[in-house]
Amino acid sequence: MVVTNSELLELSIKVEREGQRFYAELASHIDDPKVREFLSLMVKEEAAHEIHFKKMLETENDFGWENDEALKKLVAECFQTDIFPPLEETLSQLPRFEGLEKAFDFAIEAEKIATEFYHILGEACHDFELKTNMLMLEKAEMEHCKVVETLKKRVLENLP
């Protein structure tokens, strides 16, 4: 399987776009205004990441990703389906508590996968500036994971 630079960038855009959609939908199911505010912030951060990848896609640069075996493996194992599942499907199948818990679990797992993806992109890249950008994105995704874990705890503790 050959994965081109543009395919990896398009995949990155897809991950960020799905994250935006997922967090926006999740916010509409949360009663706590502070948690909704944090989820809205997550939507904005995912949108900023998407814009960053779109700008990269517009260049014709060779980022050195096409022959990286770790990237090929991660793409084959983790990106054959949507990273963020349709939220309505998850929530409609479970009672409110379990549905929200499962939604947060999906988000945590998706953030972990995104963190690993950006880490591998950075490791495989030979451009110093891009390596730095990937490291910043990796750190942002790690922070997202921590935030989502905290939000999950807060929401589930406050449910009746």
pLDDT at 47: 92
Task: Look up the pTM and report it.
Answer: 0.72
Q: Which residue positions in the chain have pLDDT lower than 70? A: 1-4, 60, 62-67, 78-98, 160
Secondary structure of the chain as H, E, C letters = CCCCHHHHHHHHHHHHHHHHHHHHHHHCCCCCHHHHHHHHHHHHHHHHHHHHHHHHHHCCCCCCCCCCHHHHHHHHHHCCCCCCCCHHHHHHHCCHHHHHHHHHHHHHHHHHHHHHHHHHHHHHCCCHHHHHHHHHHHHHHHHHHHHHHHHHHHHHHHCC
| pLDDT at position 94 | 46
Q: Which domains does the chain have, with CATH numbers?
A: 5-158 (1.20.1260.10)
